[in-house]
Amino acid sequence: MQKLTQIKTQLLNMHAEAVLRQLHEFHFVDPVHVCIKNEKYLLMASNNYLGLTHHPAVKAAAAAAIEEYGTGSGGSRLTSGNHPLYGRLEKDIARFKQTEAALIFNSGYMSNIGVISALANTAADVIFSDALNHASIIDGCRLARAKTVIYPHNNMVALAELLKNTPCSGQRFIITDGVFSMDGDIACLEKIVYLAGKYDGFVIVDDAHATGVIGSGGRGSAAYYGLSGRVHLELGTLSKALASEGGFAAGSQLVINYLINKARSFIFSTALSPATLAAASAALQILLTEPYRVERLALKAAAMKDKLRLAGVPLLKSETPIIPILIGAASQAMDFTEKLYAEKLIVSAIRPPTVPVGSSRLRLTMTGAHSAADIDKASAIIIHTAIKMGRVKPFA
Ligand code: PMP
């Protein structure tokens, strides 16, 4: 069959270009160690930023929710699946983000596609989207009926020009990641909010990697810039620092009421399980009562970056626990991670199409659960491997 032949050729080509993906099974021992074929590996590739997936209070909350409400929700939010844990967590998220209201979706991916397609829903609207925005924003823009204009990454001069010169008879939207997932840098939100004011733009920030990570108490990128309440919609996920699954949108009650009625990924999917929401709720309570965890994460990330940078490992300029080591060719990035894997260290190789061709990289993510010994061990392995592979650029 023609289609199957095409598929086979495509997969073979991807294999030859070192961009073929495969699934690997990870058995978690704790937030930063996994067991594979009875061998223990140190993991620096997880978005479990605060290491709360194994916190006793988070696990106990999930278990208690199963006991009380059962396993599945059994229906969408607008039919029979809206169990009491939803309202409680949405109120807590809104208070945490200092917005009027919040709405939980089934994942961060689903929040992005649902929100963008529901809001930017006429051909007269224009979306201005950062070139390095996450795939789920890109897919949201594809589903939206608006025209999408991509601006060069974090380039506010270019954004200003595009806002000025792109005809728009409807609503302008500016959409950006708060923390960029593959580079670890932070959006220029101050300038974006200023430009949005000038051009009556609606600002949407995806704080998937910012929530629990930057800003006062981990409140995200708006809080980081002292702009809480000045961003029209803050999106996020429960699957990274909040140790569970699900996504959310936080903003005005008006917009949330609209999303309940119009966001198709919200309306037409079964609600999350009680255990999932209970775990996220418990993780958020820990974040609220123990905000030092956010600072501790930043200190650990800084310690790791300092060690690698001082040894001359080529880091991209990240301001967060996402630490990209620029390699270039996909095959070399794969080769590097395989060598680290042989040393029992797991780090992601990020390759096209996730990043542009020629900018494949290793992507380390630090969590609050990594110990000083983990940092010493991982940095020594990476530096040693980088030297052997001729990747270290000593300071001139
Ligand atoms: N936005 C960004 C910036 C992300 O990095 C991710 C996940 N990697 C998502 C959205 C999707 O979130 P989720 O995994 O909860 O679907």
Q: What pLDDT, on the 0 to 100 scale, is given for residue 396?
A: 46
Q: What is the SS3 assignment for 172?
A: strand
Rounded CA-CA distance 128/201 in Å is 9
* Cis before 31? omega within 30: no
Tell me whether residue 79 is in a domain. Answer: yes
Nearest CA residue ID for atom 12, ligand 1: 108
Rounded CA-CA distance 240/104 in Å is 15
Per DSSP, 217 falls in state: G
Residue where a domain terminates, one of 237, 256, 284: 284
370 CA to centre of own chain: 19
The neighbouring-strand residues paired with 33 are 30, 42
Give the ipTM of the model, two decimals please. Answer: 0.99
Tell me whether residue 206 is in a domain. Answer: yes
Residue where a domain terminates, one of 225, 257, 284: 284
What tokens does 68 get? 């009380």
Tell me whether residue 4 is in a domain. Answer: no
Nearest CA residue ID for atom 10, ligand 1: 108
Residues 27 and 111 in one domain: no
Q: What pLDDT, on the 0 to 100 scale, is given for residue 395?
A: 58
Q: Are 145 and 127 in contact (CB under 8 A)?
A: no
Nearest Cα neighbor of 103 from 227, 284, 233, 222 is: 233
Q: What are phi and psi of 218, to 5 degrees?
A: 80, 25
What residues act catalytically? 181, 209, 240
The neighbouring-strand residues paired with 27 are 35
Phi-psi region of 388 (alpha: psi -120 to 50; beta: other; left: phi over 0): alpha
Closest ligand 1 atom to the C-alpha of 47? Answer: 8
Nearest CA residue ID for atom 4, ligand 1: 208
Residue where a domain terminates, one of 235, 269, 284: 284
Rounded CA-CA distance 386/384 in Å is 6
The neighbouring-strand residues paired with 364 are 323
What tokens does 181 get? 């997932």
Per DSSP, 314 falls in state: -
Local confidence pLDDT in tens for the 396 residues of the chain = 999 999 999 999 999 998 899 898 889 999 999 999 999 999 999 999 999 999 999 999 999 999 999 999 999 999 999 999 999 999 999 999 999 999 999 999 999 999 999 999 999 999 999 999 999 999 999 999 999 999 999 999 999 999 999 999 999 999 999 999 999 999 999 999 999 999 999 999 999 999 999 999 999 999 999 999 899 999 999 999 999 999 999 999 999 999 999 999 999 999 999 999 999 999 999 999 999 999 999 999 999 999 999 999 999 999 999 999 999 999 999 999 999 999 999 999 999 998 999 999 999 999 999 999 999 999 999 999 999 999 887 654
Tell me whether residue 6 is in a domain. Answer: no
Whichever domain contains 373, its CATH number is 3.90.1150.10
Per DSSP, 271 falls in state: P
CA atoms within 13 A on the CB side of 74: 6
Q: What pLDDT, on the 0 to 100 scale, is given for residue 126?
A: 98
Q: Please tell me the distance between residue 245's alpha carbon and the centre of ligand 1 in angstroms.
A: 10
CA distances in angstroms from 169 to 116, 166, 378, listed in the order given: 18, 10, 53
Q: What are phi and psi of 128, to 5 degrees?
A: -105, 115
Rounded CA-CA distance 272/279 in Å is 12
How confident is the model over 38-84, as pLDDT tens digits?
Answer: 999 999 999 999 999 999 999 999 999 999 999 999 999 999 999 99
How confident is the model over 6-36, as pLDDT tens digits?
Answer: 999 999 999 999 889 989 888 999 999 999 9
The amino acid present at 170, given as its one-letter code, is: G
pTM, 2 dp = 0.96
Tell me whether residue 258 is in a domain. Answer: yes
Please count the residues of the chain: 396
Residues 215 and 161 in one domain: yes
In testing the pocket of ligand 1, which one of 129, 136, 244, 363 has its CB within 8 Å of the most ligand atoms?
Answer: 136
Under 8 Å CB-to-CB from 149, ≥6 apart: which residues? 126, 127, 128, 129, 162, 166
Full domain range(s) for residue 67: 56-284
Whichever domain contains 173, its CATH number is 3.40.640.10
Residues 360 and 383 in one domain: yes
Rounded CA-CA distance 72/277 in Å is 11
Q: What are phi and psi of 109, to 5 degrees?
A: -60, -45
Q: What angle do CA 82, 86, 89 make, to 5 degrees?
A: 175
In testing the pocket of ligand 1, which one of 176, 239, 266, 363 has its CB within 8 Å of the most ligand atoms?
Answer: 239
